[in-house]
């Protein structure tokens, strides 16, 4: 795409996001008032993710690298690499049977309309506050007790240096999985770094490759899960270059 077409494409995302958020935001807000109704709110959250992902011209191919299966009756901690805003849509699209709660940046609450919904469906963390980071475990535990699984991008954000294949992992996801004895599902997303980067003058629609890389038992220590998952994701990304 030329730069002009890219800016038009990005502008379409703003229009699409506004329409979907306003249309689907009301049922999300209503169904998320009572904890027992969140599973219904999640249906509309998934529709929003489908609309954004496919509406921007993306599609995906799921490739399984493990014989282990995701059990719809088990709660998990889901992790993946993080290179694009579109990464956020994929766990919801992939997991119809697991209402998800994301651990996300507090700053996103400031986005008009979307911020209200974001506050309802996420555990927010202020990464500049040690108290906020420590409190994430308690709040995630509460969400898991309500039947939700947790999504965390363990890199803690998207690296400013685009040459970085995979940034170092923070401990949160692995500590949470270990403490609450929840299996860790490891996904690797390939392609979105080029298709939808944070450089607004670049990008293009296309097919994203999603690797179900591993499902790690919580019998491992948090440190072992962290090392295993980082090694697994990085190897796939390096082989995809």
pLDDT tens digits along 106-135: 877 776 666 777 777 889 888 777 787 778
Beta strands in 43-167 (DSSP E): 58-64, 77-80, 100-105, 122-125, 149-152
> What would the mean pLDDT of 140-161 be, rounded to a whole number?
88
**Which of 2-6, 33-37, 127-131 has the least mean pLDDT?**
127-131
pTM score, two decimals? Answer: 0.93
Contact 129, 105 (CB under 8 A): no
- pLDDT attached to residue 112: 67
Structure-derived torsion over alpha carbons of residues 227, 188, 156, 1, reported in degrees to the nearest 10: 150
Q: Express each pLDDT in 60-88 by its tens digit.
A: 999 999 999 999 999 999 999 999 989 99
Give me the mean pLDDT over the 130-154 stretch: 88
Q: How far is CA 20 from the centre of its chain?
A: 18
Give the per-residue pLDDT at 105: 80
Burial-class residue 9 by CB neighbours within 10 Å (0-12, 13-18, 19+): middle
Band of the pLDDT at 200, cuts 50, 70, 90? confident
Residues β-bridged to residue 102 = 122, 151
Look at residue 238 and tell me whether its pLDDT is greater than 90: yes
Whether the pLDDT of residue 101 is over 90: the answer is yes
Helix (H) / strand (E) element for 11: namely: helix 3-31
pLDDT of residue 71: 96
What's the confidence (pLDDT) of residue 99? 95
Q: Is the confidence at residue 90, as pLDDT, over 90?
A: yes
- Give per-residue burial for 99-119: e unless 16+ CB within 10 Å, then b: bbbbbbebeeeeeeebeebbe
Selection from 136, 75, 67 nearest residue 100 by Cα: 75
pLDDT above 90 coverage of the chain, percent? 66
Percent of the chain with pLDDT over 70: 98
Q: What is the pLDDT of residue 73?
A: 93
Q: Which two structure tokens, joined as six digits, stand for 126?
A: 């202020």
pLDDT at 1: 61
pLDDT tens digits, one per residue of 164-193: 999 999 998 999 999 889 999 999 999 999
The CATH class for the domain spanning 3-239 reads alpha beta
Residue 59 confidence (pLDDT): 98
**pLDDT on residue 65:** 97
């Amino acid at each position: 795409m030329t730069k002009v077409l890219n800016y038009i494409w990005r502008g379409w995302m703003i229009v699409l996001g506004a329409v979907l958020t306003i249309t689907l935001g009301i049922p999300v807000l209503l169904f998320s008032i009572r904890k027992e109704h969140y599973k219904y709110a999640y249906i509309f959250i998934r529709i929003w993710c489908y609309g954004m992902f496919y509406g921007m011209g993306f599609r995906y191919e799921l490739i399984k690298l493990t014989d282990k299966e995701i059990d719809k009756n088990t709660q998990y901690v889901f992790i993946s690499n993080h290179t694009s805003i579109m990464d956020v849509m994929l766990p919801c699209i992939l997991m119809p049977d697991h209402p998800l709660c994301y651990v996300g940046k507090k700053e996103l609450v400031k986005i008009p309309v979307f911020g209200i919904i974001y506050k309802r469906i996420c555990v927010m963390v202020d990464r500049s506050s040690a108290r906020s980071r420590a409190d994430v475990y308690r709040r995630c535990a509460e969400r898991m007790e309500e039947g939700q699984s947790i999504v965390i991008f363990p890199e803690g954000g998207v690296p400013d240096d685009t040459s970085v294949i995979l940034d170092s992992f923070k401990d949160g996801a692995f500590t949470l999985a270990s403490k609450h004895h929840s299996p860790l599902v490891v996904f690797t997303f390939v392609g979105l770094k080029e298709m939808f980067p944070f450089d607004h003058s670049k990008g293009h629609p296309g097919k994203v490759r999603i690797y179900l890389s591993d499902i790690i038992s919580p019998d491992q220590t948090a440190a072992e899960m962290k090392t295993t998952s980082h090694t697994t994701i990085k190897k796939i990304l390096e082989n995809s270059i």
